[in-house]
């Protein structure tokens, strides 16, 4: 840890063991957290079932919305790797934002990105069919994928995809195999290559119609 990091931890830091809950969905809170080391899991209840949204590591922050909008916690955060967190209260947070435009701009960008990601994940979790969930999330990733010869590259593997959308890896691989055979996507050294995002969206529309109306 750097000298500056050590000073920050001395002033604001707390250690959390694996399995501990930083805060739970619905709780009232007025502190945000910055991860110095370790990892945390962010999850949310959907239809009564706890679903993982994301795992955050060093450098990430969470819990800031409780300061910004003064509403109950919108998710549950658990420690999945022994963590050292900086605990930032409202006054310190306001001082940071007012005194450093770079920090404020970085936070705005991250919050906007998180909001888009959370919207996509919540929309995905509402789908019951695992085929639709895999295809829907791939189309979401394609919107910020890398354009290259042969299609759009999304940096995700079956394990990461399963974690994001709350499915078993075997279920994800089953759907991916169908997409491989249909020549909609193929494996790439850096993830998955979507040949034609438009065709993938058309396939998603077909799956959603099938889920809504059934086989007719």
Instruction: Indicate whether 120 and 134 sit together in one domain.
Output: no
Give me the domain span that covers residue 194: 130-213
pLDDT in tens, 157-207: 888 888 778 788 899 999 999 999 999 999 998 899 999 999 988 888 888
Radius of gyration of the chain (CA): 20
Instruction: Indicate whether 68 and 146 sit together in one domain.
Output: no
Cβ count within 10 A of residue 195: 15
pLDDT in tens, 5-26: 678 888 889 999 999 999 999 9
Instruction: Indicate whether 80 and 185 sit together in one domain.
Output: no
Strand partners, 42: 54, 77
Task: Give the sign of the dihedral formed by CA 59, CA 121, CA 159, CA 80.
Answer: positive
CATH of the domain at 174: 1.10.10.10
Instruction: Indicate whether 205 and 163 sit together in one domain.
Output: yes
User: Structure pTM?
Assistant: 0.55
């Amino acid at each position: 840890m750097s000298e500056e990091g050590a000073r920050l931890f001395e002033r604001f830091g707390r250690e959390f063991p694996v399995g501990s809950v930083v805060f739970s969905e619905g709780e009232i809170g007025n502190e945000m957290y910055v991860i110095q080391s370790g990892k945390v899991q962010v999850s949310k209840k959907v239809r009564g079932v706890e679903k993982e949204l994301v795992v955050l590591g060093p450098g990430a922050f969470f819990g800031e919305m409780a300061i910004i909008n003064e509403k109950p916690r919108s998710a549950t955060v658990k420690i999945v790797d022994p963590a050292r967190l900086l605990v930032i209260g409202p006054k310190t947070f306001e001082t940071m934002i007012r005194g450093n435009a770079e920090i404020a701009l970085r936070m705005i960008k991250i919050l906007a990105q998180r909001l888009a990601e959370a919207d996509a994940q919540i929309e995905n979790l509402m789908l019951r069919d695992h085929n639709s969930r895999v295809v829907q999330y791939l189309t979401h990733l394609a919107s910020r994928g890398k354009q290259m010869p042969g299609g759009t590259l999304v940096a995700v593997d079956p394990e990461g995809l399963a974690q994001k959308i709350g499915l078993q890896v075997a279920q994800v691989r089953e759907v991916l195999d169908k997409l491989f055979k249909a020549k909609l996507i193929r494996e790439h050294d850096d993830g998955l290559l979507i040949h034609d995002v438009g065709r993938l969206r058309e396939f998603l529309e077909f799956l959603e119609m099938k889920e809504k109306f059934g086989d007719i």
